[in-house]
Amino acid sequence: MKILHLIDSSGVGGGERYLADLIRHSESTFGHHIVLPYNGPLEDVLQNQHIEYNIVSMDYRKLINSIRKLRYLINILHIDIVHTHGYRANFYGRVASLLARVKHIATIHVSLYDYLETPRYIRSIYLWVEKILSFRTSKYICISEAMKGDLLKMGIGKEKIEVIHNGVDLKVFYPHPVRDTLLKELGVYKCWPIIGTVGRMVPEKGQIYLIQAIADLKDKWPTLRCLFIGTGILHDQLKRNAKELRVDDMCIFAGVRWDIADIYPLLDLFILPSLREPFGLVLLEAMASCVPVVATDSGGPPDFIEDGFNGILVPASDSRELAVQIDNLLLHREKTTKIAQRGYETVRTNYSIQTMVEHVERVYGSVMQ
Element at 307 (helix H, strand E) = none
Q: Looking at the structure, tell me whether residues 335 and 213 fall in a common domain.
A: yes
Q: Looking at the structure, tell me whether residues 33 and 89 fall in a common domain.
A: yes
**How many other CB atoms are there within 10 angstroms of residue 167's CB atom?**
25
- State the DSSP string of 309-333: TTBEEE-TT-HHHHHHHHHHHHH-H
174 within some domain: no
Q: Looking at the structure, tell me whether residues 7 and 151 fall in a common domain.
A: yes
Q: What's the confidence (pLDDT) of residue 320? A: 98
pTM: 0.92
Q: Looking at the structure, tell me whether residues 85 and 159 fall in a common domain.
A: yes
pLDDT higher than threshold 80 for residue 182: yes
**How many other CB atoms are there within 10 angstroms of residue 17's CB atom?**
19
Write out pLDDT tens, residues 333-353. 999 999 999 999 999 999 999
CA dist., res. 94 & res. 104, Å (int):
6
Q: How confident is the model at residue 367 (pLDDT cuts 50, 70, 90)?
A: very high
Q: Looking at the structure, tell me whether residues 321 and 297 fall in a common domain.
A: yes
Please, what is the Cα angle at 183 between 178 and 187, to 5 degrees? 165
**pLDDT greater at residue 258 or residue 164:** 164
172 within some domain: no
Q: Looking at the structure, tell me whether residues 213 and 141 fall in a common domain.
A: no
Q: What's the confidence (pLDDT) of residue 293? A: 98
Q: What's the confidence (pLDDT) of residue 118? A: 76
290 within some domain: yes
Q: What's the confidence (pLDDT) of residue 157? A: 93
Averaged pLDDT for residues 32-45: 94
Distances 336 to 192, 195, 332 between C-alpha atoms, Å: 15, 13, 6
Q: Looking at the structure, tell me whether residues 80 and 104 fall in a common domain.
A: yes
Q: How many domains does the chain have?
A: 2
Q: Looking at the structure, tell me whether residues 201 and 163 fall in a common domain.
A: no
pLDDT higher than threshold 90 for residue 51: yes
Find the domain containing 17 and state its range.
2-167+353-367
Angle between helices 281-288 and 333-350 (to 10 degrees): 110
Q: What's the confidence (pLDDT) of residue 313? A: 98
- Produce one character per residue of 187-221: b if its CB has 16 or more CB atoms within 10 Å, e if not: ebeeeebbbbbbbbbbbbbbbbbbbbbbbbbbeeb
Order the strands of the 31-36 sheet from edge to edge. 53-55, 31-36, 2-7, 81-85, 103-108, 139-142, 161-163
Q: Looking at the structure, tell me whether residues 12 and 156 fall in a common domain.
A: yes
CATH number of the CATH domain containing 303: 3.40.50.2000
292 within some domain: yes
Q: Looking at the structure, tell me whether residues 150 and 185 fall in a common domain.
A: no
CA dist., res. 125 & res. 7, Å (int):
20
Write out pLDDT tens, residues 227-239. 999 999 999 999 9
Q: What's the confidence (pLDDT) of residue 123? A: 82
Long-range contacts of 35-40 (CB under 8 A, 24+ apart): 35/4, 35/5, 35/6, 35/7, 35/70, 35/73, 36/7, 36/10, 37/7, 37/8, 37/9, 37/10, 37/88, 37/89, 38/10, 39/10, 40/9, 40/10, 40/11
pLDDT higher than threshold 80 for residue 177: yes
Q: What percent of the chain has pLDDT over 90?
A: 89
Q: What's the confidence (pLDDT) of residue 125? A: 86
What's the chain's average pLDDT? 95
Write out pLDDT tens, residues 289-312. 999 999 999 999 999 999 999 999
Write out pLDDT tens, residues 105-148. 999 999 988 876 778 888 888 889 889 999 999 999 999 999 99
175 within some domain: no
Taking the alpha carbons of 209, 215, 221, 227 in that order, is the dihedral positive or negative? Answer: positive
Residue closest to 340 by CA, chosen among 313, 314, 309: 309
Q: Looking at the structure, tell me whether residues 18 and 142 fall in a common domain.
A: yes
317 within some domain: yes
70 within some domain: yes
Q: Looking at the structure, tell me whether residues 11 and 43 fall in a common domain.
A: yes
118 within some domain: yes
Averaged pLDDT for residues 51-80: 96
Map residue 128 onto helix, strand or coil.
helix
Averaged pLDDT for residues 64-90: 96
